[in-house]
Amino acid sequence: MAVGILITADEVKELNSISGSTDYDYQITAMIPIVTDFIYNYCNFDDTTYTYDTYDWTEVGLKLPAAQLILWQIKQPDHNIKQEKVGNYAVSFEEAMPKAILNALNPYRKMRYY
């Protein structure tokens, strides 16, 4: 699969209201191709129909979920720990990814035929 850019670092910061800070720039830049590839695969875009070179991502409306996914990944230091208790140790975990982000991607998913 060709890897292209779904969103820029500046767009991620703007959509997540991160202003004047460069604290996350390296992480945001590193996450862009990973999140783009995840969305490409999750939505079942194939090379013959939707390639990064020929498809206008801005019309797809995937920038906001991409920005939210990048911020969620960066700001989750304990990765999925929802609740922790010390006495008689107990821990509960969040889902792997927020449903709101996946729900925003669902309208763009394509049927996959085998």
Q: What is the pLDDT of residues 43-98, one digit of tens each?
A: 887 655 444 555 555 455 888 999 999 998 887 765 566 656 567 776 666 667 78
Supply the pLDDT for residue 13. Answer: 93
CA angle 18, 83, 21 (to 5 degrees): 10
Supply the pLDDT for residue 40. Answer: 84
Q: What is the pLDDT of residues 11-57, one digit of tens each?
A: 999 999 888 878 889 999 999 988 888 888 888 876 554 445 555 55
Domain hosting residue 53, numbered range: 9-108
Residue 64 lies inside a defined structural domain of this protein: yes
Number of domains in the chain: 1
For 92, the 3-state DSSP assignment is: strand
Residue 3 lies inside a defined structural domain of this protein: no
Residue 102 lies inside a defined structural domain of this protein: yes
Residue 113 lies inside a defined structural domain of this protein: no
Supply the pLDDT for residue 2. Answer: 46
Q: E strands, 17-112, where?
A: 81-85, 90-93
Residue 99 lies inside a defined structural domain of this protein: yes
pTM of this structure: 0.71
